[in-house]
Structure 1
Amino acid sequence: MKNLFYMLACVSVIFLSACSSQNKKEKDDAQALMQDSLKAAGPQRMQVSDIKATFKYQGKEYQSSVLRRPDESLPIVKNEQGEKFVDNRITLRLTCGGKQIVDKVFTKESFTSLVDAKFMQYAILEGLVYDQTTPQGIIYAASVCYPQSDLYVPIRLTITSDGKISMAREEFMEDYQPDSVD
């Protein structure tokens, strides 16, 4: 009888421990879910990217690195739905034969002379990519856009062999061919 009582007591303790462990696990899971939803409610960020390219210009080999990072120190951008976005900071490094040609950091503010102030208020710096070389210089394409939309302002950066940068707003993409009217 004592053995039966002892055995029932042990089973009860194990059962109660399992129940309290289950409750603790459920509480931990609920707490983790709450933390995830709090993070999701915070500002959205683009992924960090580091794009490297090697190309020839005027008979010399150039190496390009474009590093995009979300930057919490920049003002948060809010869209019309109230969603918040972290803006980006992009570093362009261009070298030739081990010599630094360009080492410049861009934010969307770098393009204020080319982009309307009202558009800029709701936009982020989305990207900067190597495009091509031309007799005028090394061409990069930049875009300032409304987050998570197709609305953007394309910008063309031209870099000379001595590192001078000029910028112009692109009105149409090169591949764009408007319908001809007869």
Structure 2
Amino acid sequence: MPDTTTTRDRKEVRDYIRTIADFPHEGILFRDVTTLFADPRGFRMAVDQMIHAWAGQQIDRVVGLEARGFILGGAIAHQLSLGFVPIRKKGKLPATTIAESYTLEYGEAVVEIHDDAIRPGEKVLLVDDLLATGGTAAAGIRLVERLGGSVMGCGFVVDLPDLGGRAKLEALGMDVHAICAYEGL
């Protein structure tokens, strides 16, 4: 029987990701996942692949990092029939929070989580769109652990391995999965 699969049917997640040169600074190749999210086939493929990486593991909650991690985390939580917890930039959550600071290339940033968002002993999957230096994800892991939760692993659509984020998270004992990787900055 002849192969009736079209080129469109053979697309991979990375085929839906747009690259924008010199954003936000000259010399940077920005991996824009908004084009992935806008395409129903690509978005479903990404969510399915992220879920597949954690098949068979007990997970109690999905935690998403601001902001694109909210889009992925909400969809993953829905598919797994789990609750979703946002980790946000400082000052964005309305109830009592705990905060964690982390280093950026040119300064420091702070993320927060509600102090009642994770119960002691809960197993958490942390997700975001892109893994670069790992600073935001590491801060998110520390917040979950401070609340008594256990991060089972970290899932990303894109890994930028040259920036060292995967190595940083693995050094923290994390199981890290990314759908695709791009060399360079």
TM-score (norm 2): 0.29
TM-score, length-scaled by structure 1: 0.29
Structure 1 or 2: more strand by fraction: 1
Select the structure of larger CA radius of gyration.
Answer: 1
Which one has more relative contact order, counting CA pairs under 8 Å at least 6 apart?
A: 2
Higher helix share: 2
